[in-house]
Amino acid sequence: MQFNIAALLGDGVGPEVATEAMRVLEALGKKFGHKFQFHHGLVGGAAIDAHGVALTEETLKLCQSCDAVLLGAVGGPKWDDPRAKVRPEDGLLALRKELELFANLRPVKVLPMLVNSTSLKPDVIKDVDLMVVRELTGGLYFGQPKKQWRTSEGRRAVDSMVYSEQEIERIVRVGFEIALTRSNKLTSVDKANVLESSRLWRQVTTEVAVDYPDVELDHMLVDACSMRLIQRPAQFDVVVTENTFGDILTDEASMLAGSMGMLPSASLAGIPKAGSKALGLYEPIHGSAPSRAGQDIANPIATILSAAMMLRYSFNLIAEAEAVEKAVVAVLEEGNRTYDIMDEGKTKVGTKEMGRLIAEKITG
Ligand code: IPM
Ligand code: MG
Q: pLDDT-based confidence at 275, cuts 50/70/90?
A: low
The CATH code that applies to domain 1-105+275-364 is 3.40.718.10
Q: pLDDT-based confidence at 225, cuts 50/70/90?
A: very high
| 90 a catalytic residue | no
**pLDDT tens digits, 301-312:** 999 999 999 999
**pLDDT tens digits, 180-199:** 999 999 999 999 999 999 99
- pLDDT at res. 214: 98
Which residue from 332, 333, 313, 331 is spatially nearest to 321, judged by alpha carbons? Answer: 313
- pLDDT at res. 271: 82
Residues with Cβ within 8 Å of residue 60, at least 6 apart in sequence: 94, 95, 98
**Alpha carbon of 291 to ligand 1 centroid (Å):** 18
| 223 a catalytic residue | yes
Q: pLDDT-based confidence at 278, cuts 50/70/90?
A: confident
Q: β-strands 336-337, 280-284: how paired?
A: unpaired
Query: Distance between CA 14 and CA 11 in Å, rounded?
Result: 5
Ligand having the closest approach to the CA of 287: 1
Rounded (10°) CA dihedral 117, 123, 129, 134: -80
Q: pLDDT-based confidence at 219, cuts 50/70/90?
A: very high
Question: Is 132 close to ligand 1, i.e. is its CB under 6 Å away?
Answer: no
The CATH code that applies to domain 118-257 is 3.40.718.10
| Number of other CB atoms surrounding residue 48 within 10 Å | 24
| Number of other CB atoms surrounding residue 32 within 10 Å | 14
Give pTM, 2 decimals: 0.96
- pLDDT at res. 52: 97
Mean pLDDT along residues 49-65? 97
Mean pLDDT along residues 325-336? 98
Contact at 8 Å (CB) between 90 and 55? yes
**pLDDT tens digits, 70-94:** 999 999 999 999 889 999 999 999 9
Mean pLDDT along residues 322-333? 98
Mean pLDDT along residues 11-28? 98
Q: pLDDT-based confidence at 34, cuts 50/70/90?
A: very high
Per-residue three-class SS string for the chain: CEEEEEEEEECCCHHHHHHHHHHHHHHHHHHHCCEEEEEECCECHHHHHHHCCCECHHHHHHHHHCCEEEEEECCCHHHCCCCCCCCHHHHHHHHHHHCCCCEEEEEEECCHHHHHHCCCCHHHHCCCEEEEEEECCCHHHCCCCCEEEEECCEEEEECCCCCCHHHHHHHHHHHHHHHHHCCCEEEEEECCCCCHHHHHHHHHHHHHHCCCCCCEEEEEEHHHHHHHHHHCHHHCCEEEECHHHHHHHHHHHHCCCCCHHHCEEEEECCCCCCCCCCCEEEEECCCCCHHHCCCCCCCCHHHHHHHHHHHHHCCCCHHHHHHHHHHHHHHHHCCEECHHHCCCCCEECCHHHHHHHHHHHHHC
Which atom of ligand 1 lies nearest, measured to the CA of 73? 6
| 80 a catalytic residue | no
> Do 118-257 and 1-105+275-364 have the same topology in CATH?
yes
**Alpha carbon of 41 to ligand 1 centroid (Å):** 19
Q: Is the pLDDT of residue 279 over 80?
A: yes
Query: Distance between CA 43 and CA 345 in Å, rounded?
Result: 39
**Alpha carbon of 265 to ligand 2 centroid (Å):** 11
Domain ranges of the chain: 1-105+275-364, 118-257
Question: Is 72 close to ligand 1, i.e. is its CB under 6 Å away?
Answer: no
- pLDDT at res. 256: 96
- Ligand 1 atom 5 nearest Cα: 89
Mean confidence (pLDDT) of the chain: 96
Q: Which of 247, 313, 340, 361 is catalytic?
A: 247
From the centroid of its chain, how far is CA 210? 29
Q: Which of 129, 159, 251, 343 is catalytic?
A: 251
Max Cα distance, the chain (Å) = 69
**Alpha carbon of 75 to ligand 1 centroid (Å):** 10
Which residue from 114, 164, 101, 107 is spatially nearest to 131, judged by alpha carbons? Answer: 107
Mean pLDDT along residues 286-300? 97
Mean pLDDT along residues 223-231? 98
Percent of the chain scoring above 70 in pLDDT: 99
| 237 a catalytic residue | no
**Alpha carbon of 35 to ligand 1 centroid (Å):** 30
Question: Is 92 close to ligand 1, i.e. is its CB under 6 Å away?
Answer: yes
Contact at 8 Å (CB) between 338 and 354? yes
Which residue from 103, 104, 76 is spatially nearest to 91, judged by alpha carbons? Answer: 76
| 191 a catalytic residue | yes
Question: Is 285 close to ligand 1, i.e. is its CB under 6 Å away?
Answer: yes
